[in-house]
Amino acid sequence: MEIYKTEFGSFHNQTIWQYTLTNDNGLKLKVMNYGATLTSIETPDKQEKTARIVIGSGRFNDYLEEDAYFGATIGRVAGRITAGKFSIDGTNYQLPLNDGKNTNHGGPDSFERLLWDSHPFRIPDQVGVRFDLFSPDGSNGFPGNLNVSVSYSLNQKNEWRLHYEATTDKPTLFNPTNHVYFNLSGDLDQKVDHHLLTLNSHRFGEINKDGTPTGRLIDVADTPFDFTQSAVVKRGFESDHPQNKLVNGYDHPFFLDKHGDGPDAVLKEPVSGRQVSMTTTNNAVVVYSGNGLSEKIVMDGKPTKPHLGITLEAQMMPDAIHHEGFGNIILRPGVKYEADTIYQFGLI
């Protein structure tokens, strides 16, 4: 297990640090203090050829120019908040609208655009970095002085573990995630069409044209959203299901069944033989198939394109503050928020 730190760039005259974490099985994970953002994961394929399996860049400035949240820590609230409005204990709040008539991913210049304090650590069989951020009361319209930390770690079981903690001095909303885009082929000329996805979920959240949840949970049976058995993601790109056609693929939350002790999600790529299993303490995973990527977004000198990557954004259901049964995302003083998401890499 190794961890080392290198200069990755400069932002507002401050150094951007990138940490490289490696284990003894050929896995390499890179993460930077700008946005507590994952910049790379490399794993071996079935021929033991190692390649990057996420959309990322070795050029810091690419992250200043893109707005696709590649590998970023998202917060205070992942996903859309309808009309940017919510109320807590009878007090109404209005957030800045950065996505049409709604607020998305915590609002403009949120966690993903901020410099986090970084603290590398090494414990038996694990190396990692804890990123800390102070989000002041009123930041992007959210109440409460919020102290957040997100710890990235890599271990010898080929697990990338994310641990989130937060405390607040006023009731606020908190629902973070990581916006990693996987492409397990290791070839960023290839789309994810033939990736196979399994989700431990019998219901997905219907969305409106603007991407906000309608509040209705739809049974996946007999739809292109049924991933209860492994299925190719391409079917959502060719489907005439209105929810697929709305977004040209997937951009949907899946309510996790949370029964049995298997992973909540498994993504496989048959040619390379790579797979990643995801387990989370959250009640949902948002699957976004990179529908909005285009050649205008260039990462590491390569233009992106629709369906070049697929996210598994573990989080509480989006817009939960407005929908009964979606889960509680109110964080109150005296309570420590904790959540964990584990991505374990291996071969099929």
Residues that bind ligand G6D (CB under 6 A): 68-69, 104, 211, 251, 288, 292
Q: Is the dihedral of CA 110, 113, 116, 121 positive or negative?
A: positive
Q: What angle do CA 118, 76, 113 make, to 5 degrees?
A: 55
Q: Which residues contact 89 (CB under 8 A, 6 or more apart)?
A: 171
Pick the catalytic residue from 42, 112, 159, 313: 313
Helix residue ranges per DSSP H, the chain: 60-65, 235-238, 242-247
CA–CA dist 21, 31 (Å, integer): 8
- Peptide bond preceding 122: is omega within 30 degrees of 0, i.e. cis? no
The one catalytic residue among 112, 159, 179, 195: 179
Q: 104 near 80, Cβ under 8 Å?
A: yes
Smallest gap from residue 281 Cβ to ligand G6D (A): 21
Choose between 79 and 144: whose C-beta lies nearer to ligand G6D: 79
Output phi, psi for 139, to 5 deg. Answer: -60, 120
Which C-beta is closer to ligand G6D: that of 211 or that of 236? 211
Instruction: Tell how far CA 272 is from the center of its chain.
Output: 23
Shortest spacing between CB 311 and ligand G6D, in angstroms: 7
Task: Output the CA angle 21-25-27, nearest 5 degrees.
Answer: 40
Closer residue to ligand G6D in complex, CB, 42/112: 112
Is the CB of 35 or the CB of 211 nearer to ligand G6D? 211
- Confirm whether 179 is a catalytic residue: yes
Q: Which residues are catalytic?
A: 179, 313
